[in-house]
Structure 1
């Protein structure tokens, strides 16, 4: 196992400046934070200016109310002179065996519907055969490990030409990344965003369902994708682990693609095991 070290921008003058940055980022006043943490605005002010050193318990309580990511909580603890609380264990470590097995069971149990697990920068760490079906025929340079879910979706040689409502789906993905960037300091995620946002749009006409097509009452924004002459529709659901105690686990996200119409269900079930 390894432990995290302070990231870029970690304060050397105590945890106060870092805590103030997170509070301002969340648009929470000192008084509001004090009320939530059962403290006082005066004490919060003293912590932020370095006039008071918070206890480890208080620092973690404030981090919890500010929704500070687990990785950054270690930086806060180190800046305050405490040992990191959260380990960062590689997913391939033997200690993660039960987690890996559980994820594999979850993904295989979801078949024939697509499902995958990604890390903090959308690199795919596990996927089932439903995802493999969607990626068939893509160029090798996009499939070389580590496969990146956002890159392969928005790249003009990736899934982009197959996605019928591409502009809507692209807007959804970019907005999701923007929210994540606002919640956590991540130079690698920002670099990925800048890369995929600059991709040229695919050269295709907007989807035309035809005059006889029956409208489908989608309950969420669907991903409408053409695979082998068949139009499939999915809505995405993302799950994370509750109260993670490891940085690696905290940054994993499980995305499941739920069929959004009867035609998609029928087609996927027809493929057999």
Structure 2
């Protein structure tokens, strides 16, 4: 069964919209763990519009499950933040400055040498590394040459095509997953996975280790409640 890591960026967005500390980000993270989440994900950005850098330090000191920090390693402040906190996993995402949300994976062929250096640095600090990639076999193969432990498949295209033709939507992801498995890469996935499309994805992708879900899960929680929503997502991942 793939692990569910809850991305709490949207909780931080809500908090920041009014200032103060309501909702309490640390309490929400601990509650997510208590309700069954097997990991907590944050994606700090330079403008700190949701997760603040201090949040990472506050969370690292209390989280009992796996802590996953996502972000662009071309930002030195992000690199320093990760090395100072030593999460279980760092996920390298090629965000542009001011980008609203992640919308593409790394070109692991073009940036192979750079990623090799970044991966080696984080691994030397004892941090598991995952690289955000599109479901393209060539990108998966080049990712393996960086020395990364895992890749995270960017699943927006799957989510967009799911309702119209789920078999066609999943096809490139299955091929990418099979390539990753053959190369010895661990496999994560995330972006726009939800209660409608998650189970089909999880049952079709071989050796899926982890999904990171934030926006859809928090949106569902507005109607269903956070504890109930986390349990519903976990059931989608169960065999």
**TM-score interval, normalised by the smaller of the two chains:** under 0.3
Structure number with bigger Rg? 1
- What is the TM-score when the length of structure 2 is the normalising length? 0.27
